[in-house]
Amino acid sequence: MKQRLAHFLGQWPALYRLASRVYWTLQFQHLAELVVGTRARERRWAARPIAEGYWENRDLPSKHFLADRIAAFAPVNSILEVGCASGTNLYLLAGKFPQAQIVGVDINVEAVNYGNARFAQEGMENVSLRVGKADGLGQFGDRSFDVVFTNALLIYIGPDKIREVVGGMLRLAKRVIVLMELHRFESKGRPREALGIYQYGNWTRDYAALWKQFVKPEQVRVSRIPEVVWPARPWSESGAVIEVVLDK
């Protein structure tokens, strides 16, 4: 029924966009976020049984694409992923940088424990996962990591926390921050677009406008993810790699 309705509305793009906006706005998840902010999403992700499923996704094209983008900044001696789940991205990076200190932080205890067990089985002693929140990275010192990155994490961080989260990553990064997130390519640079617009169950934002509040505009590079890398919507339309280069 849902697919037939979507097909019917798809004949009128403007109507489809309006219907989609109403549908996602009225979802319980979003209504909860309107009341308590990002904490509502954090509670859901902390309890989700994601450990094994995320580990099995480590060979997705998007994972290899992101690992290659980070590898372009070699040599790299230290890496932090914020929102690592069970560590699938870090598995690929450990193969590219076996000498590097590689750390992941995630809110899901089961995923962290599962990932640490798998890395131990693989003999990857340079990777460690820790339990933590995106806005709670105080255990790490300033400029602790050459590279700090996210992969589809900030789509779950609402306007109430996004400045604190990116500010925390900026404090920790020595050379570059790499984000694979949903970006508003047609943005007009409004403050609301920098903080986030709720679309299709995710937060998408103008990352150039957001980072302009922290660094010089020329330090920020935004590029589309090729559709072949992540063909599913909304990533095929809004998927982007945002690179914030700090060591120039």
Q: Same structural domain for residues 11 and 56? A: no
Count up the domains in the chain and report the number.
Answer: 2
Q: Same structural domain for residues 1 and 59? A: no
Would you state the pLDDT for residue 9? 46
Q: Find all residues with CB under 8 Å of 194, minimum gap 6, and list them.
A: 205, 206, 209, 210, 212, 213
Residue 220 within a domain: yes
Would you state the pLDDT for residue 243? 98
Between CA 197 and CA 195 the distance in angstroms is 7
Strand partners, 147: 79, 176
Residue 64: which CATH number?
Answer: 3.40.50.150
Domain extent, residue 22, equals 1-36
Q: Same structural domain for residues 5 and 89? A: no
Q: Same structural domain for residues 239 and 193? A: yes
Q: What is the DSSP string of 119-147?
A: HHHHT-TTEEEEE--TT--TTS-TT-EEE
Residue 26 within a domain: yes
Would you state the pLDDT for residue 220? 98
Would you state the pLDDT for residue 216? 96
Would you state the pLDDT for residue 186? 92
Between CA 108 and CA 157 the distance in angstroms is 15
Structural element, H or E, at residue 162: helix 162-172
Q: Can you give the pLDDT of all 248 residues of the chain as single tens digits? A: 455 555 554 565 665 555 555 555 556 565 556 556 788 888 888 998 988 888 998 899 999 999 999 999 999 999 999 999 999 999 999 999 999 999 999 999 999 999 999 999 999 999 999 999 999 999 999 999 999 999 999 999 999 999 999 999 999 999 999 999 999 999 888 889 999 998 878 999 999 999 999 999 999 999 999 999 999 989 999 999 999 999 75
Q: Same structural domain for residues 25 and 107? A: no
Strand partners, 247: none
Report pLDDT digits (tens) over 220-241: 999 999 999 999 989 999 999 9
Would you state the pLDDT for residue 36? 64
Would you state the pLDDT for residue 44? 86
Structure tokens at 211: 């980072």
Structure tokens at 42: 């954090």
Between CA 115 and CA 28 the distance in angstroms is 30
Provide the residue count of the chain.
Answer: 248
Helix (H, G, I), strand (E, B) or coil at 180: strand
Q: Same structural domain for residues 31 and 72? A: no
Q: Same structural domain for residues 3 and 123? A: no
Would you state the pLDDT for residue 35? 57
Q: Same structural domain for residues 54 and 17? A: no
On the 0-12 / 13-18 / 19+ scale of CB atoms within 10 A, 16 is middle
